[in-house]
Amino acid sequence: SPEDRVTGAPRRTPTLYGHLMDTAPFHWDGDMHDFGMLTSEVFTHRMGGATLSSAQVNAMSHWLDTIGTPPALAVDATSAERGRTLFEDPSVGCASCHSGAKFTNNSSINVGTGGTFQVPSLVGVHTRSPWLHNGCAPTLADRFTNPACGGGEQHGHTAHLTPDQIGDLVAYLQTL
């Protein structure tokens, strides 16, 4: 897998689902302010390819924006609704960063997972295992039950949730 430029730690590639251009800035660090900067860094510098023209960058960005969202998983609707309520509860804190139509505030924040990272969109989150920037959570539930991986209370206030509530929260995430 790709590695972090500073620490050498593994990094996962963020999803391309759900109208990527609405989630700028790009890259886990949020240091790629626009798609042209991202393509220059990745295709030209890291992969050794030719510099893309503005027309090529525009064509690629328009094509990427045609990639819609994956279908939600079929989950228990009552469980998912309880999970939505938890997700939106300010005392839990998920929606303070994962907000809006793309479930991201497009900010870079340190949530205790090893650095300051771009808040990823949660659109289609159920399709992206393993989770978090370094893939340390093999399941969505592990994101909430493994404090060493998920950032503990810096990454939402979920330590007090029961296993059933975590199940409800995961059910909701699987509908996004």
pLDDT higher than threshold 80 for residue 90: yes
User: What's the whole-number mean pLDDT along residues 110-133?
Assistant: 89
Percent of the chain residues past pLDDT 70, beyond the cut: 93
User: What's the whole-number mean pLDDT along residues 131-147?
Assistant: 89
> Rounded distance, CA 31 to CA 25, Å?
7
The dihedrals phi and psi of 10, each to the nearest 5 degrees, come to -65, 145
**Is the CB of residue 72 less than 8 Å from the CB of residue 171?**
no
> Rounded distance, CA 68 to CA 114, Å?
30
The predicted pLDDT at position 10 comes to 62
The predicted pLDDT at position 4 comes to 47
User: What's the whole-number mean pLDDT along residues 99-123?
Assistant: 91
Average pLDDT, the chain: 88
Residue 88, CA atoms < 13 Å, CB-side half-sphere: 8
pLDDT higher than threshold 50 for residue 108: yes
User: What's the predicted TM-score (pTM) here?
Assistant: 0.77
pLDDT digits (tens, 9 = 90+) for 9-50: 566 777 777 778 888 888 777 888 899 999 999 889 989 999
